Amino acid sequence: MGITARQLTLATLDRQLLLRREPLDVAEAVRRICAAQAQAAASPYLALWNRVSGFAPDDLDAAFAQGRVVKASLMRITLHAVHGADYADCHAAMRASLRGARVYDRRFTSAGLTAADADGLLAELPGLLAGPRTGAQMEEELGRRFGAGAQRLWWALRTYAPLHHVPTGGPWAFRLPNTYRAAPAAPSADPGPDLGPEDGADTAEDAAVQRLLLAYLRAFGPATARDFARFTLLTSPVVRRALDRLGERVVPVAGPDSGALLDLADATVPEPDTPAPPRLLPMWDSVLMAYAGHGRIVPEEYRPLIVRRNGDTLPTLLVDGQVAGVWRAVDGGVELTAFRPLRAARWRALTEEAERLSALLADREPAVYSRYRHWWDKGFPADRTTVVTP
């Protein structure tokens, strides 16, 4: 028998630590969910608050400072927080995609630059960025040799070179201007599954893509090859080659309506009657970005409400495993907006979550995500709106 649509939702919630908060070290929690979107500095913190029992923001501060969790440009050419020991594989898997998105971009080539200009500096970056430097400092450094093209050259390098964002303080460890340091040259001490020659791994990139695919399925499966391509922006040939190399480690699973899915050979899914608690997800939470289709977590009719044209993905209410509304920080608390009627018991559970979130934000940044308030000015088809205070 195939997996039902309900079980697919529950499988995502289970693997993403959203069925129950787990007593995990923050770095291990990041590894379990594959990666935490970090385009907004607050989002990894709020992602882990939803997933880790007794979560303390100071623990993630420390993990960033110690390099146990690192922030860098990775999947989808955007910022993610990943386990420090997983960074090398994630970067190796994504490097060609990151590089291509920059050195072949007209904004780069129109500055009179070539791929060789950027690639030729890679060997120098460990020395130039042995200690933290801002983007402005790097542009000044490169400007001595490349003049007006230095800005675009650094724009490319900061995306695809092996660099970490350096925590500089503020409520969520990172503040502007962005500060960078060269990633350690040594390979990961914990590289994950052993993909030796017997598995047909032709290059380091091949092996890294395979490891990333396995990590993706552990965190988001069952899923399709197209879902993985959406999560990473890797091309279909690269994804297909990784699947071919992995062989029996990845197995087909019958999904709803006989749709073909993929999963790890030893993976399980929850029973259909498993309850799903309410959650208040941050902007760009990974469960909202991990699939080519949006019905698993995001009802199709709500997608235009939470994913705006420029890609802003708003903070959402998760009710019984499905997006049911949005939230935002307001003066003195958290405002909940539901798109559809919710039973009284579900409202109570949501408001209890919002009370805890309000308390967390009060100690860090009460006006989190305030730069995105304009989306609320445009209005929502709200059934109910409530402001919750700590």
pLDDT average, residue stretch 367-380: 93
As a whole number of Å, the end-to-end CA separation of the chain is 46
Supply 194's token pair. Answer: 């052993």
Condensed to tens digits (0 to 9), the pLDDT of residues 247-283 reads: 999 999 998 876 789 999 999 999 999 999 999 999 9
For residue 254, the surrounding DSSP H or E stretch is strand 250-254
Q: Is the pLDDT assigned to residue 361 strictly greater than 90?
A: yes
pLDDT value, residue 190 = 41
- Give the pLDDT band of residue 197 (cuts 50, 70, 90): very low
Supply 78's token pair. Answer: 């955007």
The mean pLDDT of the chain is 93
- Cα 145-151-157 angle, rounded to 5 deg: 90
Question: What does pTM read for this prediction?
Answer: 0.94
Supply 31's token pair. Answer: 């590894």
CB atoms within 10 A of CB 29: 24
Q: Is the pLDDT assigned to residue 102 strictly greater than 80?
A: yes
Q: Is the pLDDT assigned to residue 310 strictly greater than 90?
A: no
Distances in Å between the alpha carbon of 239 and those of 24, 78, 159, 233, 246?
A: 31, 19, 21, 10, 11
Q: Is the pLDDT assigned to residue 118 strictly greater than 60?
A: yes
Condensed to tens digits (0 to 9), the pLDDT of residues 222-257 reads: 999 999 999 999 999 999 999 999 999 999 999 887
In our burial notation (b when 16+ CB lie closer than 10 A, e otherwise), range 84-110 reads bbbbbbbbbbbbebbbebbbeeeebee
Q: Is the pLDDT assigned to residue 32 strictly greater than 80?
A: yes
Beta-ladder partners of 280: 317
pLDDT value, residue 258 = 61
Q: In what order do the strands lie in the sheet with 69-73?
A: 36-37, 79-83, 69-73, 163-165, 179-182, 133-134
Contact predicate 223/290, CB 8 Å: yes
Supply 337's token pair. Answer: 């907006």
pLDDT value, residue 77 = 96
- Rounded Cα–Cα distance for residues 291 and 297 (Å): 9
CB atoms within 10 A of CB 361: 22
Condensed to tens digits (0 to 9), the pLDDT of residues 9-24 reads: 999 999 999 999 999 9
- Give the pLDDT band of residue 378 (cuts 50, 70, 90): confident
Q: Is the pLDDT assigned to residue 381 strictly greater than 90?
A: no
pLDDT average, residue stretch 214-225: 97
Contact predicate 390/362, CB 8 Å: yes
Condensed to tens digits (0 to 9), the pLDDT of residues 130-183 reads: 999 999 999 999 999 999 999 999 999 999 999 999 999 999 999 999 999 999
Count, in order, helices (H) and strands (E) of the chain. 16, 13
- Give the pLDDT band of residue 188 (cuts 50, 70, 90): very low
Determine what percent of the chain is predicted with pLDDT higher than 90: 87
pLDDT value, residue 40 = 96
- Give the pLDDT band of residue 189 (cuts 50, 70, 90): very low
pLDDT value, residue 359 = 96
Q: Is the pLDDT assigned to residue 198 strictly greater than 70?
A: no
pLDDT value, residue 257 = 74
- Give the pLDDT band of residue 380 (cuts 50, 70, 90): confident
- Give the pLDDT band of residue 187 (cuts 50, 70, 90): low
